[in-house]
Amino acid sequence: MAFTEGFISELVGRRATINDLPIGRVSDFLVNRPDAAFPQIDGLIIKTAQGPRFAPVDTIQDVDRCGTVALTAAPKEAAPPERDSLYLIADLLDKQIVDVDGRKVVRINDIEVANTGGQLRVVAADVGVSGLLRRLGLKSFGKKFAPAIYRAVPRAMIAWS
């Protein structure tokens, strides 16, 4: 898997392909055991013409520079019910949580993931302005046209553990 670290907002909505043929778009990330210190992402939910389908993480062949997700096999299995697993987009983004260290309520703007030991894991929740800018697609705009302002935006991360 080429994707080593980043944020889920960088992949959600991206094309999913098999042999360069589009099959759908990434709509969510599935975690079956969210209680782990840094839980493993078990798969992607791909929005297809047949409805949402589950693509196990081991079927991800590559993520190119444009964000296209190449799969080795078509996802045939229907997406599991939301009550059975944690959906990172549907269940966490834009939800408010309590930051016990800062003793305040914060909103999750993005989620950081990293490939550690060959497994894609949830690392942290981004509760700062930079996560919101990234989700709105303003990250590259800020880097290109207002780099000093972009660098001044503080990162506010809460470790998943």
Tokens describing residue 17: 């392909």
DSSP string, 109-155: -EEEEEEETTEEEEEEEE-SHHHHHHHTT-HHHHHHH-HHHHHHSPP
How confident is the prediction along the chain (161 residues), in pLDDT tens digits per residue? 456 678 898 889 999 999 999 999 999 999 998 888 899 999 999 999 999 999 999 999 888 877 789 999 999 999 988 888 899 999 999 888 876 776 778 889 999 999 888 888 999 988 887 777 777 776 554 455 556 665 666 668 888 87
pLDDT recorded at residue 62: 86
Q: Number of folded domains in the chain?
A: 1
Residue written as token pair 């975690």: 31
CB atoms within 10 A of CB 96: 9
pLDDT recorded at residue 148: 64
pLDDT recorded at residue 106: 84
Residue 71 burial by Cβ neighbours in a 10 Å radius (0-12, 13-18, 19+): buried
CB atoms within 10 A of CB 55: 26
Q: How is residue 41 annotated by DSSP?
A: P
Answer left, alpha or beta for residue 147, where phi above 0 means left and psi between -120 and 50 means alpha.
alpha
Q: What is the CATH number of the domain that holds 56?
A: 2.30.30.240
CA distance 10 to 8: 5
Q: Which domain holds residue 28?
A: 5-159
Under DSSP, is residue 78 helix (H, G, I), strand (E, B) or coil? Answer: strand
Residue 3 burial by Cβ neighbours in a 10 Å radius (0-12, 13-18, 19+): middle
Indicate whether this model's pTM tops 0.85: no
Residue written as token pair 């990234």: 134
